[in-house]
């Protein structure tokens, strides 16, 4: 009995210490399918979830977010292991996956809900974001259009949006190619 108790206690402590390393971050970069794909490639990212954040409507639907004035952005929740990756590295990866100079949306998706944005959880995160924006604006000598909002709530998108780029690979590739996303990103970040 004592041995079982010790094993149970060890398991509880090891699980708790691991879960303390898992953190969440919230980014909006136009199409949340593309944002999931971008972050899933980053070492230390454990899970990405498509959803909506930053607005005033509770439990919004996709149709509401893209057609109505909900204030939400198509967003992705990124669960990451802070022992493997820092928030700063996530912010750097985020900017490499968007066009920070498009004030109307991202690539072929236009409208408020498709604007780029970061939903920060504390002042430390905001300072990291502000430094990165200043660095980009200085490098390109242009104003960046990235919405910064204090994180409040994240609403998971409908199931058919989750892992869309994997489940509907050819449709997703056709969409991404038609939007010329990769071409613009290469033009911006690989020069």
Sorting pLDDT into bands at 50, 70 and 90, what band is 79?
A: very high
- Residue 37: predicted pLDDT: 94
Catalytic machinery residues: 31
Whether pLDDT at 13 is above 90 = no
Least confident span in 6-15, 51-60, 142-151, 164-173: 6-15
Closest CA to 66 of 2, 126, 113: 113
H-type alpha helices, 22-103: 32-40, 62-67, 87-95
Burial of 25 per CB tally in 10 Å (0-12, 13-18, 19+): buried
- Residue 48: predicted pLDDT: 97
State the pTM of this model: 0.88
Whether pLDDT at 3 is above 70 = no
Whether pLDDT at 45 is above 80 = yes
Gap between the Cα atoms of 51 and 93, Å rounded: 19
- Residue 2: predicted pLDDT: 39
pLDDT tens digits, residue range 61-76?
A: 999 999 999 999 999 9
What phi, psi does 174 have (nearest 5°)? -65, -45
Least confident span in 95-104, 128-137, 148-157, 165-174: 165-174
Sorting pLDDT into bands at 50, 70 and 90, what band is 120?
A: very high
- Residue 19: predicted pLDDT: 78
Whether pLDDT at 12 is above 80 = no
């Amino acid at each position: 009995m004592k041995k079982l108790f010790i094993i149970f206690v060890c398991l509880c402590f090891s699980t708790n210490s691991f879960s303390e390393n898992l953190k969440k971050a919230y980014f909006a970069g136009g199409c949340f399918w593309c944002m999931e794909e971008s972050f899933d490639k980053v070492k230390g990212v454990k899970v990405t979830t498509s959803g909506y954040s930053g607005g005033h409507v509770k439990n919004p639907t996709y149709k509401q977010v893209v057609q109505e004035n909900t204030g939400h952005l198509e967003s992705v929740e990124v669960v990451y292991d802070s022992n493997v990756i820092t928030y700063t590295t996530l912010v750097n990866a985020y900017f490499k996956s968007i066009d920070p100079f498009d004030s109307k949306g991202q690539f072929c998706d236009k409208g408020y809900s498709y604007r780029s944005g970061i939903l920060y959880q504390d002042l430390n995160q905001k300072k990291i974001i502000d430094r990165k924006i200043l660095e980009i604006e200085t490098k390109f000598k242009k104003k960046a259009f990235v919405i910064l909002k204090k994180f409040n709530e994240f609403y998971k998108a409908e199931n058919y949006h989750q892992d869309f780029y994997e489940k509907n690979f050819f449709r997703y590739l056709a969409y991404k190619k038609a939007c010329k996303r990769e071409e613009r990103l290469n033009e911006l970040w690989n020069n």
